Copies of this chain bind each other. A is one copy, B any other.
Amino acid sequence: MARRISERADLLPVLGEIFRDHGFEAASLSVIGARTGLGKGSLYHFFPGGKEEMAKAVLDEIDRWFENEVFRPLREGGNAAADIEAMLVAVDGYFRSGHRICLVGALALADSRERFAAQIAGYFAAWQEALAGALARAGRADPDGLAEEVLALIQGGLVLARARDEADIFTRLLARLLARLRLKLRPASH
């Protein structure tokens, strides 16, 4: 049988996990073939540009997901405090409470960084801008600086959780962050 109904879009989540597990360089075509169940012929059929095209497609899909689930709600939401809290919940879910790393952040530190520099920079820029807007609506001073801090905490939390093999670190950091943002947003509560 030659046809086994594969679609390019269905491959992206699997490819994402492969790149998260191995990084770009170490994700060999044999590993990709084994985990997708596809031969080189199929892989090059869907991604004529090879590994680089695969990674770019994965980054695009990540960007699309965050745009829909995180960035746009932050921009268009009504209650800024609730929107920021919803963002933290979505982030906790996406990163599986610290068990999953951020592929974008990992690529930023890797050798292959320059190949994907535009997509990497764009992802964080969009996130920071959307979050800073919500923080501004919530009346926070220096929303850009605070948004930068929140993103750094999330990325650093993922690094620490993986480094110490202790996903709870990420959960604790998100909880602290939530408490800190809440406290300032509702100063009457204490």
Contact = CB atoms under 8 A, between A and B. Distances in A.
A152 B148 contact: no
Interface stretch (A33-41, A46-54, A103-111): A103-111
A163 interface: yes
Nearest to A21: B111
Contact of A153 (B21, B145, B152, B163): B152
Contacts of A60: none
A156 B152 CA distance: 4
A159 B173 CA distance: 17
Contact of A149 (B27, B159, B173): B173
Interface string A105-132: 1101111110001001101110000000
A109 B101 contact: yes
Interface stretch (A6-14, A69-77, A83-91, A164-172): A164-172
Interface residues of A, number: 43
A149 B176 contact: yes
Contacts of A152: 152-153, 156-157, 159-160, 169, 173
So how many copies of this chain end up in the complex? Answer: 2
B111 A26 contact: yes
A154 interface: yes
A157 B121 CA distance: 14
A156 B87 CA distance: 18
A151 B145 contact: no
A27 B21 CA distance: 19
Contacts of A22: 111
A162 interface: yes
A16 interface: no
